[in-house]
Amino acid sequence: MATARDRMLTTVDTISEFSQRSRATVADRFRRARAGLLFAAQAGLAAGLSWLVADNLLHHPRPFFAPIAAVIALNVSIGQRLRRVVELVVGVALGILVGDTVIYFIGTGAWQIALGVAAAILVAVFLGGGPIVIGQAASSAVLVATLAPPSGGIYYSRFLDALIGGVTGIVVMALLLPVNPLTVIRKAARPALDVIAQGLRDCAGALRHGSRAEADAALATLRAGEASVVAFRNALAGAREAATLTPVYWRSRGPLTQYLDAAEHVDHALRNGRVLARRTVALLRDQEAVPDGLVEALRTLADAVTALRDELASGTEPERTRALTLQAVRTAADVYRAGIGFSGGVVVAQVRTMATDLLLASGLPRPVVEKAVRRAVGRLPSR
């Protein structure tokens, strides 16, 4: 049976663990709050300005749709395309207009709400609206019919309020409190490239230690990295749009082009990294010999990925990335010439394939890359 002292120690341990978790949770929440500061400032400014324009300048009665549309436009604009923002604003404005018209003529009630929503959807579909336009038109019609039905006529001003709010949100996003597109894309690119580098280092460690469990973990890391690469490619659309809309960041379009050119090849590198990791697992399962050079080639290739991350972030010519990549190819080719098993040969081939991906991501044209890789490989023995 547990003594009083044991129970006391257990209680103390539980309290200590809870305290540590609470501190970690609070710290995470503060980090998330800091990350949302810019959006909060944008949304607050857009809401206030849209109300100021609609109420003080245009003298619209209770223009609450203006700040609503402004905040919605900003919320969708994060990482999305301008077209989706425009579609959303048009959908809100269309739903308000149709809802106002229908409710004014037939009154309010359950079947009137149903008819108003159906009418808003049909008008949106007739005008060629996509899912965003249709959804916002329907929800805005519900809002008009339930919370603010027209009483003294059709309130065309509410349609204008929605447009004012949407335009204000876009102006705030593009001109008054713009997001630095390079900051956005650097934050998105770092985890995408880090996961590839980490996967290669983990494969090298697995080969060094002869651990199939480490190789399985490396493969799991690379599989999970798909989400980071998808986030990177999605962030590119928003960053490119910000660089186009915001005059103060027009100079960032040059460095941003490097990321745009690299994105597809980073995606390919991750996929080829998974093939390499699977073959590493097979190599260890079949107990093939592991030359030291193969471990060194993987480590050098991982260093090349890290160099690409840093050189893209600094906007410099990725010379170090190219040098390390070709060094990895030469080291792997030397291993192949010295003799290696079947799975080891596949790993060597994947090093060359990933090297091609990295050199293309560094901005070199494909004919130059293919020639450089062939030179680095040299003459291989026929088998």
For each of the chain's 383 residues, which pLDDT tens digit applies?
445 555 554 555 555 555 555 555 766 677 677 666 767 887 888 888 889 888 888 888 778 778 887 887 777 655 554 666 677 677 777 787 787 777 777 777 788 788 888 888 888 888 777 777 787 788 777 777 776 665 555 556 767 887 888 888 878 877 766 667 777 788 888 999 999 999 999 999 999 999 999 999 999 999 998 888 888 887 777 777 666 666 656 666 667 778 888 889 999 999 999 999 999 999 999 999 999 999 999 999 999 999 999 998 888 899 999 999 999 999 999 999 988 899 999 999 999 999 999 999 999 999 999 999 999 988 666 55
Q: Are 350 and 272 in contact (CB under 8 A)?
A: yes
**pTM of the full structure:** 0.67
Quote the CA–CA distance of 160 and 116 in Å, as a whole number. 19
Q: Is the sign of the CA dihedral 88, 94, 97, 103 positive or negative? A: negative
Going along the chain from its start, the domains and CATH numbers come out as: 37-176 (no CATH), 181-377 (1.20.58)
Pick left, alpha or beta for residue 128 (phi over 0 → left; psi -120 to 50 → alpha; otherwise beta): left
**Distance separating alpha carbons of residues 61 and 68, to the nearest angstrom:** 15
The two tokens of residue 48 are 């206030």
The one-letter amino acid code at 313 reads A
